[in-house]
Structure 1
Amino acid sequence: MTQSILVLDEGTTSTRAMLFTATGKLLGSAQQELTQHYPAPGRVEHDATEIWHRTLACAREMVEKAGGADRIAGIGITNQRETVVAWDRSTGEPLARALVWQDRRTAEFCDELKQAGHEAAVQEQTGLLLDPYFSGTKMRWLLDNEPAVAAAAEAGTLSLGTIESWLVYKLTGGNFISDASNASRTLLLPLGGAQFDDGLCDLLGVPKSALAQVTDNSGHFGVTLKELFGAPIPITGLVGDQQSATIGQGCLSPGETKATYGTGAFILANKGTEIPGSNNRLLGTVLYQDNGERTYALEGSVFVAGSLVQWLRDSLGLLGTASETETLARSISDSGGVVIVPAMSGLGAPHWQPEALGVIAGLSFATGRAQIARAALEAMAHQTYDLAEAFAADGAKWTSLKVDGGMSANDWMAQDIANMLGLPVERPDFVETTALGAAMLAAKGAGLVPSLNEASKVMRGSVGRFEPEIDERAKQQRLVNWRRALSAI
């Protein structure tokens, strides 16, 4: 009997279910958008019940396409990482809206911790900086500001988890786990520690009793409730979205680097079994854990990438479709001096300015839609260039860059990144490597392949390549303009 892999890809703006063969061929997908709630500037929320219902609907569509639950060897889950859900484990119902990774409401708390001198010790333990981006301070905010969350904590029935924890709990009817890649994004897990740390929990004011058990990224994590799909399906892979894309790109050896351009932009370099450190405000994170042994990555996170194009389309009405940016960028020889610093959710690595606001510089009466669209795409290369310099300073110089994610399908942007980096940019024909990485882990967990290296050989497809081609003077002038615009923040 043919055995398929079902991947649940829980993104920021949508949820998807994707069906793969054991050789990595995509058989089908179903997708539903997620409602974005913006209750105040800097605040971004999701409805956890909506996430569950829409994920379940997409999954059922793919189970039917597979020919039934008995045709699926395992489920892999990949997810937006730092988003936090609070629910009552006695009822299985959420206690508040989920706080999304983009949410900045805990900036003041992070500043208090920094001013008290805690950041260096936290970074040494967790590889992370004290920033609202990460899950732990969001958990604390929910405890302090949502009475239902505080009451559940007092009653001992509170669960605090990231999206994979929430989905596993709902799918299995009660399993409460978090894989090491997601757990390493909370500020509560030491990179060298097996479970969440008492001291870090005390520092952030998060009860350890409300947290999940930390697990490997592939294995047997329980089975789905029979009534959901007609028969139980084992859950065999769990991984945060950026680690999943790194695996899906085949970055399984130290030094191999990928960049995912989706809602945000995230660059990870495999660091092997060496716990990574940074002097340039990059992040250390767990890439994956196998039989209790961890492989690590060095990461640079940009908060705004595809969401900038979405803003130009939906809020300003400058675009009809996101793909229109490529046509507009090609229609002119340069941006006319227009530079966009897309700090709508603060600035991430390597700047880490959570209170920063976006800037559009260099406007004139000659500025039109094309100049702004081109400047939006150029901002991706500018931010990537800053990260390349930071990685090199930390001893992780890139020799090429593997790109993926929805924005990477834009040929003009991929070429522009190669031009600004002065490096080859590689893009797989199948750019949905986030889902592919989860499929690879699930295939290993289900016993369809013996290792991730074997899964990579069997499941990954062909790759295209963009070589740099730009006048050095034009490149340097763009960097001058970029740094000038950064200084205006």
Structure 2
Amino acid sequence: MMKEQPSQTAKQDSNAAKYLLTIDQSTTATKAMLVDENGSITQQLAISHRQYYPQDGWVEHDPVEIYQNVKSVIRGVIAQAGLAQEAIVGITFTNQRETALIWDRETGIPIANAIVWQCRRTANYCEQLKAEGLEQQIQHKTGLLLDPYFSATKWRWLLDHAGSELPLERLMAGTMDSWLIWNLSGRQIHATDYSNASRTQLFNIETLQWDEELASWFGVPLQLLPTVYGSDYIYGYIDDPELFSAKIPITGVIGDSQGALFGQQCTSTGMAKGTYGTGTSVLMHVGSDIVRAKGGLVSAIAWGLEGKVEYALEAIIHCSGDCLNWARDQLGLYSTFEELEESVNKAGDSGGVYLVPAFVGLGAPHWHPRARAAIVGLNRSSDRHHILLAALESIAYQVDDAVKLLEQQTGIPLLELRVDGGATANSRLMQFQADLLAARVVCPQAAQLSALGSAYIGGMALGLWSREMIAGFYRRNREYESNMKKQERKRRVAGWQAAVNAVLANEAALQEKG
């Protein structure tokens, strides 16, 4: 059973100003948003942080830079809105999920850069555990596949390679939410929520506790880990005189994909959303009981609310929007998203070109951490417009694979996919997504659904809103219906599958050569 939440004293005076400040700490940037009593974002500010790629397949972030950015956007968004500090009644958090770090509790300094969820450096640890026959037991306890994507092997790597000089009692481990809460609370609170804990591969989703056996298999002492609470728990208070003179309650803590699920109001069994970010998460709500994942899906805790947990099934795509970043930053194929849209419209169609963006391996439904990206189907007339369109379409093909997997596992046909994230602004991508799915794709009026999900939960915790009121906040904006003929859909999907199979065959050949 989920832990009972102790009685809380942070309910707000009905006459107080009703602004929540929500932090969305994502893979590429940190955003601060002000959410008013009508559940609308009235102001926002973002600061990007540096991406570190020290080796092939390695991805890192500087946690100190991220924390400083959090403080900057908090100060900036309040100043931008012209608000007094007293207008802020609570602060909520949503975050990139599996990114892992370890820091010194005495100095507050991380022992190394954070290892990002995309990073594949711990593939060998995963292979060792598979060779020991532990994969099935790990999946049963955690709902997760044994893969470098998740936090446990990242912490193990940090302990092996960066943590040997300090005694264990000096070390604290966490995901990005834990790091930020610890710092913002004046280094008093080491905590996380159920959604983030469930992504670490050390948390038992049945017992709702850190698992001693898992910790021993991964070699990560439980004493390093944060206390786990519901997403609507009052975690404590901001205690940083550089930010606020008063103590502001911290609540509404949830991983970004689960935050978007709640923000999209996918709160009934069978409802699904797709968040198009650096990677893409396709998440389906499955109710109050665990549905055991198979075939490349993972079981997930959706959230802990009102004294109970709810569950979801998830298909994880490692690289979606990041493929477009690669085409811009590494290849220089476009500069602005307006230029991207103009370029793909010039292409007409992809001319038989497919781009499989396995830059950090393939996620659902394949889960091949060593697979590498490829462009397939080039001919002499192919140009940059075809390659850009193939990059854009690769997002929709991967989501289509994910949705088909969810339909197969649950027996629930998808009638509607609610979508969010930056790439949803591209109408060509959204139409192509609807065409492949043969289902309705719905873009809401609000774009920042992870942040809104966090804010909604925080508002419930602080007595601002009920679930019924929040359901009324959801507004549809654009809807896309499929216009593609069945035979054309089959032809295009067959080409995509052939391209993926070529990538997998290449991976197998390289593995065979040693």
Does the alignment pair 1:23 with 2:38? yes
Asked whether 1:141 is paired with 2:147, we answer no
Contact 1:219–1:444 (8 Å) recurs in 2: no
Which has the higher mean CA deviation after the structures are superposed, 128-137 or 440-449?
440-449
2:255 & 2:446 partners in 1: Cα distance? 19
Quick check: 1:345 aligned with 2:351?
Answer: no
Residue 332 (structure 1) aligned with residue 347 (structure 2): yes
1:443 to 409, 434, 459: 459
Confirm or deny: 8 A CA contact 1:86 1:159 kept in the other structure.
yes
Say if 1:462 and 1:481 are closer, same or farther in 2 by CA, change over 3 A: closer
1:427 aligned onto 2:443: yes
Query: Which of the numbers 257, 264, 279 marks the counterpart of 1:264?
Result: 279
Aligned 8 A contact 1:248 1:456 in 2: no
* Aligned twin of 2:197: 183
Matches within 5 A, 1:383-422: 383-395=398-410, 396-422=412-438
Q: Determine the structure 2 residue equivalent to 1:488.
A: 502
Q: After superposition, where does 1:199-214 map in structure 2 within 5 Å? A: 199-214=213-228
What whole-Å deviation, never above 9, does each CA across 1:320-364 have from its counterpart, x for those lacking one? 113433222222331011000010010001110000000100111
Query: Which of 296, 310, 314 is equivalent to 1:281?
Result: 296
- Larger deviation, residues 252-261 vs 270-279: 270-279
Say yes or no: does 1:162 pair with 2:175: yes
Q: Structure 1 counterpart of 2:448, which letter?
A: E
Secondary structure (helix, strand or coil) at the match of 2:32 reads strand
Matching of residue 233 in structure 1 with residue 248 in structure 2 = yes
Q: Deviations over 1:219-258 (max 9, x none)?
A: 2110001502222211121000000011110101111000
| CA displacement, residues 280-332 of structure 1 (integer Å, 9 cap, x when unaligned) | 12010110002441101100010111110011001100111134332222223
Q: Give yes or no for contact 1:271–1:297 (8 Å, CA) kept in 2.
A: yes
SS of 1:151's equivalent? coil
Using the TM superposition, name which of 386-395 and 38-47 deviates more. 386-395
Aligned-residue sequence identity (percent) comes to: 38
Q: Which residue of 1 aligns with 2:384?
A: 369
Matched residues in 2 for 1:215 and 1:96: separation? Answer: 27
Q: 1:180 to 1:323 in 2, by over 3 A?
A: farther
Aligned to 1:310: 325
CA 1:155–1:162 in 2, change beyond 3 Å: closer, same or farther? closer
State the partner residue of 1:42. 57
Q: Secondary structure at the match of 1:218?
A: coil
Counterpart check, 1:125 vs 2:147: no
Is residue 495 of structure 2 the alignment partner of residue 472 of structure 1?
Answer: no
Q: CA deviation at 1:117?
A: 1.2
- Superposed displacement of residue 155, structure 1: 4.2
Q: Secondary structure at the match of 1:40?
A: coil
Partner-residue secondary structure (3-state), 2:337: coil
SS in 1 for 2:204: coil
Alpha-carbon RMSD across the aligned residues, in angstroms, is 1.3
Q: Does 1:77 align with 2:108?
A: no
Give the counterpart letter for 2:318 in structure 1.
F
CA distance in structure 1 between the partners assigned to 2:413 and 2:65 by the alignment: 42
Distance 2:113 2:395 in 1: 31
Work out the CA distance in 2 between the residues paired with 1:159 and 1:127: 25
Gaps of 5+ in 2: 1-15, 504-514
Residue 63 of structure 1: how far off its partner (Å):
3.0
- Contact residue 323 and residue 410 of structure 1 kept, 8 A: no
From 464, 476, 485, the counterpart of 1:462 = 476
Alpha-carbon distance in structure 2 between the residues aligned to 1:161 and 1:139: 9
Q: Look up the match of 1:96.
A: 112
With normalisation by structure 1, the TM-score equals: 0.97
Tell me how many residue pairs correspond in the alignment.
484
* Pairwise CA distance, 1:150: 3.0
Secondary structure of the 1:93 match is coil
Displacement of 1:92:
1.8
Shift of 1:95: 1.4
Residue identity opposite 1:88 in structure 2: D
Match of 1:7 in 2: 22
Offset from partner CA, 1:156-196 (integer Å, 9 cap, x none): 12111000000000000120001000000000111112221
SS of 2:347's equivalent in the other structure is: coil
Worse-matched range after superposition: 163-172 or 61-70: 61-70
After TM superposition, give the deviation of residue 454 of structure 1 in Å. 2.9
Structure 1 position 464, deviation (Å): 2.2
Structure 1 spans left out of the alignment, 5+ residues: none
- Alpha-carbon deviations, 1:394-421, whole Å to 9, x = none? 1143221111100011111000000001
For the Cα contact (< 8 Å) 1:219–1:446, is it kept in 2?
no
Partner of 1:197: 211
CA–CA distance in structure 1, aligned partners of residues 463 and 165 of structure 2: 42
Q: Displacement of 1:387 after TM fit?
A: 1.1
Any conservation in 2 of the 1:219–1:236 contact (CA below 8 Å)? yes
Secondary structure of the equivalent of 2:53?
coil
| Cα contact 1:88–1:95 (8 A) shared by 2 | yes
Distance 2:164 2:262 in 1: 38
